[in-house]
Amino acid sequence: MEENKISPYQIIGFFLVALIMVWMLSKQKPTETKPETNENKVEQSITPNASTEPINDSTPNPVSENDSIEKIALQNTYGVFSTILVSKDTSKVTLENDKIFAEINPKGGQLTTVKLKEFTNFKNQPVYLINRNNSFNLTFSTFDGRVLNTEDFYFTATHNNTQQGDQEIILKATISPSQYISFIYTISKNSYIVDFSIESEGISSLISSRQNPSFEWKTKSFRNSKSPEYENRYTQLIAGRKNDKRKTLSETRDDEEVVENVSWISYKQHFFSAILIPERAIDQTTLNSKNLVQKSDKEQLYMKEYLSSIPVLYKRNEFSESFKFYFGPTDYKILKSFKLGLEENISFGWGIFGWLNKFVFTPLFGFLSSFLPFGIAIILMTLIVRTVMSPVTYKSYVAQIKMKVLRPEIEEINTKYKNNAAKRQQETMALYTKAGVNPMAGCIPALLQLPVFYALFLFFPTAFILRQKKFLWADDLASYDVIAQLPFNIPFYGDHISLFPILASIAIFIYTMMTMGQQTATQQPGMPNMKFLMYISPLFMLFFFNNYASGLSLYYFISNLLTIFLMLIIKKYIVSEEKIHLKIQENKKKPKKGKFSSRLQTMMEEAQKNNQANLKKKKR
């Protein structure tokens, strides 16, 4: 049997294999036995939730050379806060109850979505107050002069349920177990309120107390109605102030204000609002509103861009501030229920107009609409208003009849003294005095109706209760009705035809024709053409109200119809021109000078004497 021998080639082969293995081991040794450095400690501290499972061969090494360089750069820029600038878990967390669905992004701890569950917009889509158009940012300075923003920080979320059944989410940006910044969100079961607080722990030695941190809230308001231009008129930033009037920024242009003693800040849409309510009154805050609607654009998505900057107070050199967010409808009843003055967020008007809307029309319409269809409730409220105002209408009509009776004599005076204005005015006032007629009697009743007219002009476009309520051909009483869509746009009119403004214009025209004789009978030479001015009113209604709330046009239509009907009743059954004429003739025999007529006549006589004296001086 032949003896086995080791071939020289085998020895060479073994030697080469050994060299290759030694070379491979030498290449792998630094990775496998790399000592723990400061860079490794940073990596461990910023990924406390990283998985401890073995990494698959196909997974890239998380501690690559580029990562290490990046972390060194972060440390140089942010110091110890660099540990909360990187995260592997960026999944959003949700906060939800029966009315609100909200999402929070761990990066920055910001609300990225707030959706109202009970409402839809004009396209039957959900109503969003926030949807990737929002940012919270707490800006502060460190003791070594760095300026940091929490929108760059990554937070870790913890869900809790309180004993009252509220949902609570605590988001922490953790530097170490004893050093962190936290944002806390809490929501109750059946509420539009989200509680929000900012707290810190153990960072007093890291931050500068020379300047208070600043909390900035920036967002854009969504379009939710058919007409962006119309909706934009009621979309604005409003600040409520303690024991003072509210402060409003412009609805039509970019605006910025520094406001003091602020109790709440409202980012108002037309019918929905996002309101920030601080626990304490803010001494001073900067508010900014940017108008995003430059022209009529059917694809317009946003109305305004809002920004507010609020100083955050320190407590024992730690962050500590609490707020409430209201995300919900701009509804008077709901806002008033919080007893925080939030109902001032609704633009009811100033002075008597606001008083009428708050204490008369809002409760009256709320009562009527509680048991009647909304269109019928508008008609019934109009009937009530016109009935209450009927004495004023009666006096106005009687004054017009009196002026009509005096027309022949006034025309005679105008002809006789057509070249002497002072004498003409004097004789005209003398006639009014003898007849016991006040020329202002027809104007005063009209002036008394103006507060009601203007108050309702403000009420209907802001009445949330009318939103998306149908009546006849109108599918939304809070927006314009459409009976025909035009293939083009008419300036100042629009690209559609609304029927309620047309009906209201016709009613105004008929009323104008009925009263024109009395109104123009005593027109003085040199005065504006009253016929022309009266014809403008129906035309104005037709064009201006074509894009306004159909509920408002319905009110004006019914109001003018009732006024016409009331005037016909007064003329046929209550007031007799013959009796008024006889009364005036009796008054002429025993004239009674009223204070107004006496003073006016005296002034006219004195003016005539002065004119005559001046003429004599000139002749000399």
- Block residue for tokens 């030479």: 525
CB 98 within 8 Å of CB 111? no
When comparing pLDDT for 318 and 189, which is higher? 189
Q: Which amino acid, 513?
A: M
In the structure, what pLDDT confidence band is assigned to residue 273 with cuts at 50, 70 and 90? very high
Using CA atoms, how far apart are residues 552 and 439, in angstroms rounded to an integer? 32
What does the pLDDT read at residue 265?
A: 92
In the structure, what pLDDT confidence band is assigned to residue 2 with cuts at 50, 70 and 90? very low
When comparing pLDDT for 94 and 580, which is higher? 94
Would you tell me the crossing angle of helices 550-569 and 390-405 to the nearest 10 degrees? 50
Lowest mean pLDDT among 57-61, 481-485, 523-527, 533-537: 57-61
Of 2.70.98.90, 3.90.600.10, 2.60.40.730, 3.90.1510.10, which CATH number belongs to 93-343?
2.70.98.90
Torsion angle in degrees (nearest 10) through CA of 424, 426, 428, 434: -150
Q: What is the mean pLDDT of residues 537-552?
A: 83
In the structure, what pLDDT confidence band is assigned to residue 549 with cuts at 50, 70 and 90? confident
What does the pLDDT read at residue 521?
A: 44
What does the pLDDT read at residue 607?
A: 60
What does the pLDDT read at residue 376?
A: 93
- Two structure tokens written together for 444: 């005063």
In the structure, what pLDDT confidence band is assigned to residue 440 with cuts at 50, 70 and 90? low
Q: Which amino acid, 129?
A: L
**Is pLDDT above 90 for 266?**
yes
- Summarised one tens digit per residue, pLDDT across range 141-166 is 877 777 888 888 888 888 887 666 78
- Summarised one tens digit per residue, pLDDT across range 398-431 is 777 777 777 777 777 777 777 767 777 777 777 6
Q: What's the half-sphere exposure (Cβ side, CA atoms, 13 Å) at 285? A: 28
What does the pLDDT read at residue 18?
A: 56
Using CA atoms, how far apart are residues 67 and 39, in angstroms rounded to an integer? 10
Lowest mean pLDDT among 61-65, 228-232, 447-451: 61-65
When comparing pLDDT for 308 and 30, which is higher? 308
Using CA atoms, how far apart are residues 279 and 53, in angstroms rounded to an integer? 46
In the structure, what pLDDT confidence band is assigned to residue 59 with cuts at 50, 70 and 90? very low
**150 C-beta neighbours (distance < 10 Å), count:** 24
CB 320 within 8 Å of CB 199? yes
Residue 516 neighbours by CB under 8 Å, 6+ apart:
530, 531, 534
| Domain coordinates in residue numbering, the chain | 93-343, 356-599
Question: What percent of the chain is helix, strand and coil (3-state, nearest 5)?
Answer: 45, 25, 30
Using CA atoms, how far apart are residues 132 and 474, in angstroms rounded to an integer? 33
List the one residue out of 496, 492, 480 whose CA is nearest residue 554.
Answer: 480
- Two structure tokens written together for 427: 């004789």
Lowest mean pLDDT among 240-244, 325-329, 498-502: 240-244
Residue 476 neighbours by CB under 8 Å, 6+ apart:
122, 226, 467, 468, 469, 470, 550
What does the pLDDT read at residue 32?
A: 38
Instruction: State the pTM of this model.
Output: 0.74
Q: What is the mean pLDDT of residues 552-567?
A: 88
List the one residue out of 263, 458, 250 whose CA is nearest residue 346.
Answer: 458
**Is pLDDT above 50 for 302?**
yes
**Is pLDDT above 90 for 275?**
yes
What does the pLDDT read at residue 21?
A: 54
DSSP state of 464: G
**Is pLDDT above 90 for 55?**
no
**Is pLDDT above 90 for 272?**
yes
What does the pLDDT read at residue 14?
A: 52
Length of the chain: 620
CB 425 within 8 Å of CB 597? no
Helix or strand (DSSP H, E) at 351: helix 351-356
What does the pLDDT read at residue 61?
A: 43
Strand 156-161, strand 282-291: pairing = unpaired
- Summarised one tens digit per residue, pLDDT across range 335-356 is 988 888 888 888 888 888 888 8
When comparing pLDDT for 604 and 398, which is higher? 398
Mapping DSSP to helix (H, G, I), strand (E, B) and coil, where does residue 504 land? helix
- Two structure tokens written together for 235: 């979309």
- Two structure tokens written together for 298: 């059917």
What does the pLDDT read at residue 83?
A: 63
